[in-house]
Amino acid sequence: MSVGVVGATGYTGGELCRLLLNHPQVNRILPTARGHEQFQRLHSNLMGSDLEFLTFDDIKRQAEELDVVFFCTPSGEAMRNAPWFLERGIRVIDVSADFRFSDPNVYQQVYGSPHAAPELLPKAVYGVTELNRASIAKAQLIANPGCYVITAILALTPLLRAAWADLDAPLHISAVNGTTGAGNKPKRSIMHAEVLNSMLPYSMEGHRHGPELETHLAAEAGRSLAVDFNTAHGNFARGIYLQANLAVHPTMREGMTRERVLALLTDFYGQGGEKEFFIRVNTFPKMGGINSKEYDVYPSVADVTGSNFCHIGADYDAHRGIIKLLSVTDNLVKGAAGSAIQNMNVMFGLDETAALQTYGL
Amino acid sequence: MSVGVVGATGYTGGELCRLLLNHPQVNRILPTARGHEQFQRLHSNLMGSDLEFLTFDDIKRQAEELDVVFFCTPSGEAMRNAPWFLERGIRVIDVSADFRFSDPNVYQQVYGSPHAAPELLPKAVYGVTELNRASIAKAQLIANPGCYVITAILALTPLLRAAWADLDAPLHISAVNGTTGAGNKPKRSIMHAEVLNSMLPYSMEGHRHGPELETHLAAEAGRSLAVDFNTAHGNFARGIYLQANLAVHPTMREGMTRERVLALLTDFYGQGGEKEFFIRVNTFPKMGGINSKEYDVYPSVADVTGSNFCHIGADYDAHRGIIKLLSVTDNLVKGAAGSAIQNMNVMFGLDETAALQTYGL
Amino acid sequence: MSVGVVGATGYTGGELCRLLLNHPQVNRILPTARGHEQFQRLHSNLMGSDLEFLTFDDIKRQAEELDVVFFCTPSGEAMRNAPWFLERGIRVIDVSADFRFSDPNVYQQVYGSPHAAPELLPKAVYGVTELNRASIAKAQLIANPGCYVITAILALTPLLRAAWADLDAPLHISAVNGTTGAGNKPKRSIMHAEVLNSMLPYSMEGHRHGPELETHLAAEAGRSLAVDFNTAHGNFARGIYLQANLAVHPTMREGMTRERVLALLTDFYGQGGEKEFFIRVNTFPKMGGINSKEYDVYPSVADVTGSNFCHIGADYDAHRGIIKLLSVTDNLVKGAAGSAIQNMNVMFGLDETAALQTYGL
Amino acid sequence: MSVGVVGATGYTGGELCRLLLNHPQVNRILPTARGHEQFQRLHSNLMGSDLEFLTFDDIKRQAEELDVVFFCTPSGEAMRNAPWFLERGIRVIDVSADFRFSDPNVYQQVYGSPHAAPELLPKAVYGVTELNRASIAKAQLIANPGCYVITAILALTPLLRAAWADLDAPLHISAVNGTTGAGNKPKRSIMHAEVLNSMLPYSMEGHRHGPELETHLAAEAGRSLAVDFNTAHGNFARGIYLQANLAVHPTMREGMTRERVLALLTDFYGQGGEKEFFIRVNTFPKMGGINSKEYDVYPSVADVTGSNFCHIGADYDAHRGIIKLLSVTDNLVKGAAGSAIQNMNVMFGLDETAALQTYGL
């Protein structure tokens, strides 16, 4: 296969190249950049590979060889350029946000400008592989989900489908992203000395991925819902630590326990990767009591670093009737490049785990 | 003044000694330890000071010289030993949790054993200096608040007193503490390689400081309330990053803005330290729109590291009617040793900022 | 293949299992532990894999199925147990230090106890794959090099073989290791809050790997030499940052430049992985002058994290006649588990990069 | 006192303001900036203080009130502007590098442009307070030393004055600086995600502070010498970790031990601050043998963070005849702003520790 990576100067584009270099079926990777950057100086972890930046026109000229194009571009690029590739039978996986809403008005509200290809929106398949595999297999155009959203939706869907939550109150989601999530353009706030002993909250008045979250969680719940969504960058480079708290529906509180929540999750995903290879539910039992600080009964961001895994854990505050889910991913892998490749694998009938089998560090 | 620091082997006891070494009115510091540790090898930042560990009996023998004793001991020690000192006219500041509930039954519920000195509970003054200065000035026994609780209560009290929150729903508090908050006893989960690229959630089913939070916030609100309280250790050594979200009371939503919340906070605390020296409200205006990532309009943990300051910021999610408060402190200073000294200063009629004037790093 | 991993409770053993899980020819991994630890709770990044700890006796009972055994044990275990496996035709790769000296007296001097299997020492092949491939292919017993030593030897060998250094003066090597290098037994000094904003020097009077360095570097140089070897743990979990400074031999100073050093290295290893896949020489040119702080002209630890690559860079202090080499590896991969698997691949005639193709994060 | 801080937008200028805010004799601080930055938004740790940026002309207009001016400007500014202040009887402390060489030719060689005020060079006093106190007390113009240089010179001077080193070979100095040492201008290489799990070497062909080191160390040694000087940024924000290795002079090797080195250092500086308050020698005895990893027998960067202290430790590699010194400082305090204030205190006959008494975190 020959694969285009449009906008490969950022962390996500670099990560796509890194993973694709180990893909057994991919023999050509064509990364593009606008400026005059040197691929291997920018992505020095890939030093010695034979990748070089091309221009966007370069890969258009080689279109007949291309099987699929990934867009890792800022908002607006993919929707203007996807049609050109789709018309030529080249599949498109958009890792940006251009095709995540089926309604162009919602896109306009959230991103502030009209959608350039509204006719494609109904054809775009939202790419949470585990929840949507059949449609992805047939899709020409994938809207790859946002890193926060996929991390949340994987944890919450089993509970929303089972209707365990009281959705008259907002869901509460607090997520901490690594600083790669802030991009690789130098800014004072994300310099090393500024973040090192700190955490950086942002977009507290309403993050752009809030509506994406609400839209796709509502679809799983089968009803409207609101999300109180809170984001920050933490003192780590990669990874999302996402906690989702939901009030248990009054009719479900009787007999609710941590164990029941974990059982629901393992019923849905399997426990040892036998149902869903990339989803692992942490069911380690708690030995001590309150304040026993058994950290390993919850998932750890570090455990999924560098991998396409999503680890999910849970607990239950019985006193207040609140289920707490913890979901961790690598924001650049399962949160972006990895799930994009997972979708590519499904679209092309390949082994779904190709290029993605590495366990976390 | 001569000052005892009972249980000075931990981070809080060491921090008390560090700060007291710069206190103009304190000329003797008597730290105690149970084992055979060497003070300056354990607290190597104080290398070359003349402090040495004494036994608890040692400082009892020197009781007549003592003006005040701080307890930095595990639960249960202070309540057994405070009476001995109080009877001799020596004031006690308990940095542990023994005197934080006026009701001994609540103590027993939360800590699992009966209270050893229930007769002292009504006399203990809860030591949030900014909210309770007059009582502290007259107190013989201070219950110094937990690090999470003081960080939350300073941010929330202005809003609770103003009755802006809809308290029929739980308040949502998510707090990330530095790893000094986990103590200095070696445990696998808090080793460097385990935490470095991660965050460690704990006590998700209900943290022991949850009831302390609910009790003291309810007192400020003048009504009962519930707190959905979530804690983790982050990849920093010192500091608490605490976010408190509260649904705005329906009657208050009209016209609610970030600016109104900030104005309420600055009315309460002042802005430049003129009312409350240690409280600084971040009122920097937001220039960009949504997703503009203006990190500096919110407080930063790093800004208060090493200091007794509490920086508070706020934002408003108008779409969902949620006020978001951010409050940051150094867990070992304002969250423990610093506020304890601040209380000591008030109790003894000293300059309230003595030994505490250093700005954050 | 069936593979035993003796002593799989530490970071190296866990890493071996992590990498072997992705090895196309390995279908059974048998990790051992002495205590009652749960494999997946200890190595939670491998949660959901089917690995469980066995006892050492367990794997002895399954010896006929075993192809190779890795020892990740403390000093002394491998030399006592390797003969049992070798006698049964099972190859042994010792990741501990037991077989790194051909002379049992040197072993005794450095490790303080007599060697238990001196007859095996001449048969053990020192496992720097890139320098010793032919012997490794025929070996039954591999002495896998120490993480510092392999990182140093890969950088220095081209210069030593070319006799560019003045070896009458000691070589100066300063290396900073991640904290995984300190093991996963809880100790106060390597707790998160202790290391986070610091660096921990250790064994300054002479590190145990000093003699290993001197022995194997001397073999490459063809003469005796001394190494001034300095070690510390840095504030990162994985990786070795190693700088080796050598005085240029007076006869070679004329015309010496950074470029000449880089050319020698690329002649030796190739530049793009075509000669040696795992060695990449950073030859990016320097644009600015002194103090221009072009960090990317030198290798970065982060670039090799999680990978089996060794990136090497160089510079030349013309004023003082000193060549400076920088070599970075992941201490758990190229420094231990990865090079051990690379050796296994060579011993069994497999693709040398099997299970090791992932690029650094 | 009224104090000007010219160039207060960087980390050093901000740190000077932070420390001066706690100086009992300083009642006016006048920080300058060129652009339109807001002081409290830039230095948000000082939020709520009444400091605001002035222009350089502003403080010239208020010259009669000024007692002293600190220059925290890039090379070249101080030498052009110092005369104006000196002529008006205002003392100048240059925290930049403009007055560190007495010979204008050396300045030109190192910094690449001619010196603008060569007539002032003989009058400038090099500001290592502990070594040069008497001259500093009488000085009008202080050349405050570079952060690496002061950290090295404090450790090495006792040994150089005692002539213990074999100076025919170069001294070897390897130093790791926090990322605040790289300034606060955004650059890709010092973004959080780039440094977090790494170390950044720089200027390996010869750092600009190398000649400063050689000049001032030679003055202490009473003979010429060469320094093999190596620098990197580490994954911490503040602090210098500096190791200096020196070959023991052959005549001194007999009977040389770690203890003898430590005794020389404590003879020189005292041990508990009684001779030199800011210098603390770590003399903790080593209990274990080689590889015992007793980290606390060496100084720790974290121990001096936020303070004006310099902790010094030592060891001896008897096998190779090499004394190893470890010296740690906070690069922004003892390495810059703190020692500048210490010099100011001496110049004005104030308590030398005023504003600087805080112990490290």
DSSP label of C191: B
Q: What is the mean pLDDT of residues A8-36?
A: 95
CB contact under 8 A, A190 and D187: no
Residue C41 sits at the chain A interface (C-beta within 8 Å): yes
Residue A110: is its pLDDT beyond 60?
yes
pLDDT at B37: 80
Q: CB atoms < 10 A from the CB of C188, how many? A: 14
CB contact under 8 A, B196 and A302: yes
Q: Which of residues 236-275 of A touch D (CB under 8 A)?
A: 236-238
The amino acid at A184: N
E strands of A181-302, at which residues?
A: 200-202, 227-233, 240-247, 279-281
Question: Is position A344 within any domain?
Answer: no
pLDDT at C295: 85
Which element (helix H / strand E) includes C20? Answer: helix C11-20
Q: CB atoms < 10 A from the CB of C185, how many? A: 11
CB contact under 8 A, A298 and B189: no
Residues D239-285: tens digit of each pLDDT = 999 999 999 999 999 999 999 999 999 999 998 788 999 999 999 99
A176 and A272 fall within a common domain: yes
**Looking at beta carbons, which pairs linking B209-215 to residues 24 or more positions away fall under 8 Å?**
B209/B146, B209/B148, B209/B149, B211/B101, B211/B106, B211/B109, B211/B110, B212/B97, B212/B100, B212/B101, B212/B110, B212/B145, B212/B146, B212/B149, B213/B148, B213/B149, B213/B152, B213/B153, B213/B173, B215/B100, B215/B101, B215/B106
C90 and C187 fall within a common domain: no
Question: Is position C255 within any domain?
Answer: yes
CB D4 within 8 A of CB D38: no
pLDDT at A221: 97
CB B98 within 8 A of CB B104: no
Strand-pair partners of C231: C175, C202
Q: List the helix and strand counts (H, then E) for chain A.
A: 12, 13
Chains touching chain B at 3 or more Cβ pairs under 8 angstroms?
A, C, D
CB A261 within 8 A of CB B260: no
Residue B17 appears among annotated catalytic residues: no
Question: Is position C131 within any domain?
Answer: no
pLDDT at C164: 97
Residues A336-346: tens digit of each pLDDT = 999 999 999 99
**Band of the pLDDT at D11, cuts 50, 70, 90?**
very high
Q: CB atoms < 10 A from the CB of D2, how many? A: 18
Say how far apart CA C13 and CA C129 lie, in whole Å: 20
Residues D22-55: tens digit of each pLDDT = 999 999 999 999 987 899 999 999 998 989 999 9
Q: What is the mean pLDDT of residues D82-89?
A: 98
Residue A184: is its pLDDT beyond 90?
no
Question: Is position A142 within any domain?
Answer: no
**Band of the pLDDT at C292, cuts 50, 70, 90?**
low
Structure tokens at B91: 């004031």
Query: What are the residues whose beta carbons fall under 8 Å from the beta carbon of B130, sequence distance 6 or more?
Result: B154, B269, B276, B278, B279
- What chain D residue is nearest to C301 in terms of C-alpha separation? D198
% of chain C residues with pLDDT over 90: 89
Q: CB atoms < 10 A from the CB of D196, how many? A: 24
Residues D295-318: tens digit of each pLDDT = 889 999 999 999 999 999 999 999
B203 or C342, greater pLDDT: C342
Counting the structural domains of chain A, the total is 2
A2-6 and C28-31 strand pairing = unpaired
For CA atoms A180, A185, A188, A191, the dihedral sign is: positive
Question: Is position D105 within any domain?
Answer: yes
Which element (helix H / strand E) includes B161? Answer: helix B147-161
CB A4 within 8 A of CB A94: no
CATH code assigned at C273 = 3.30.360.10
**Band of the pLDDT at C272, cuts 50, 70, 90?**
confident
User: Which residues of chain A make contact with C38, given a CB cutoff of 8 A?
Assistant: 284
Strand-pair partners of D92: D69, D141
D155 and D293 fall within a common domain: yes
CB C306 within 8 A of CB C358: yes
For CA atoms C123, C129, C134, C140, the dihedral sign is: positive
Summary mean pLDDT of chain B: 95
- Give me the residue from B22, B41, B272 closest to D296, CB to CB: B41
Strand-pair partners of B315: B324
Residue D279 to residues C298, D146, D266, Cα–Cα distance (Å): 35, 17, 9
CB contact under 8 A, B361 and D361: yes
Question: Is position D357 within any domain?
Answer: no
A115 and A172 fall within a common domain: no
Say how far apart CA C199 and CA C231 lie, in whole Å: 10
Q: What is the mean pLDDT of residues B121-143?
A: 98
Say how far apart CA C76 and CA C80 lie, in whole Å: 7
B198 and B299 fall within a common domain: yes
Residue C58: is its pLDDT beyond 90?
yes
Residue D294: is its pLDDT beyond 90?
no
**Of B17, B72, B147, B310, which is the active-site residue?**
B147
Phi, psi of A191 (to 5 degrees): -70, 155
Scan for tokens 């710069």, then name that residue.
B22
B82 and B43 fall within a common domain: yes
**DSSP class per residue in B289-310:** -TT---GGGS--HHHHTTSS-E
The amino acid at B26: V
Scan for tokens 């950044």, then name that residue.
D200
B217 and B302 fall within a common domain: yes
Say how far apart CA A324 and CA A316 lie, in whole Å: 6
pLDDT at A273: 81
CATH code assigned at B41 = 3.40.50.720
pLDDT at A36: 73
C71 and C178 fall within a common domain: no
- Give me the residue from B22, B196, B280 closest to D47, CB to CB: B280
Q: Burial level of A342, CB count in 10 A (0-12/13-18/19+)?
A: buried
Question: Which residues of C are tagged catalytic?
Answer: 147
CB C197 within 8 A of CB D238: yes
C116 and C189 fall within a common domain: no
Scan for tokens 């006093």, then name that residue.
D125
Structure tokens at B281: 């409200």
CB contact under 8 A, C205 and D301: no
Summary mean pLDDT of chain D: 95
pLDDT at B304: 97
Q: What is the mean pLDDT of residues C282-287?
A: 90
Q: Burial level of D148, CB count in 10 A (0-12/13-18/19+)?
A: buried
B163 and B283 fall within a common domain: yes
Structure tokens at B219: 């007192």
Residues D99-155: tens digit of each pLDDT = 999 999 999 999 999 999 999 999 999 999 999 999 999 999 999 999 999 999 999
pLDDT at A192: 93
Residues C126-185: tens digit of each pLDDT = 999 999 999 999 999 999 999 999 999 999 999 999 999 999 999 999 999 999 999 888
Residue C293 sits at the chain B interface (C-beta within 8 Å): no
Nearest to B2 by CA among B28, B41, B33: B28
Summary mean pLDDT of chain C: 95
Residue A232: is its pLDDT beyond 60?
yes
Question: Is position B63 within any domain?
Answer: yes
C111 and C239 fall within a common domain: no
Q: What is the mean pLDDT of residues A225-234?
A: 97
Q: Burial level of B75, CB count in 10 A (0-12/13-18/19+)?
A: middle
The pTM assigned to this predicted structure is: 0.96
- Give me the residue from D11, D188, D193 closest to A237, CB to CB: D193
A175 and A261 fall within a common domain: yes
Residues A48-82: tens digit of each pLDDT = 898 999 999 999 999 999 999 999 999 999 999 99
Residue B71 to residues B9, B17, B356, D361, Cα–Cα distance (Å): 12, 12, 19, 21
For CA atoms A273, A276, A279, A281, the dihedral sign is: negative
pLDDT at A114: 97
Q: Which of residues 178-197 of B touch A (CB under 8 A)?
A: 182, 187, 189-190, 194, 196-197
Q: Give the range of the structural domain holding residue D154, as residue numbers without chain letter.
A: 148-330
pLDDT at B287: 78
Structure tokens at D267: 């003879």
Residue D290: is its pLDDT beyond 60?
no
> What ipTM did this prediction achieve?
0.95
Residue D292: is its pLDDT beyond 70?
no
Question: Is position A201 within any domain?
Answer: yes
pLDDT at A291: 59
**DSSP class per residue in A7-70:** STTSHHHHHHHHHHTT-TT--EEEEB-SS---HHHHSGGGTTS----B-HHHHHHTGGG-SEEE
Which element (helix H / strand E) includes B81? Answer: helix B77-87
Among A107, A123, A139, identify where a domain stops: A123
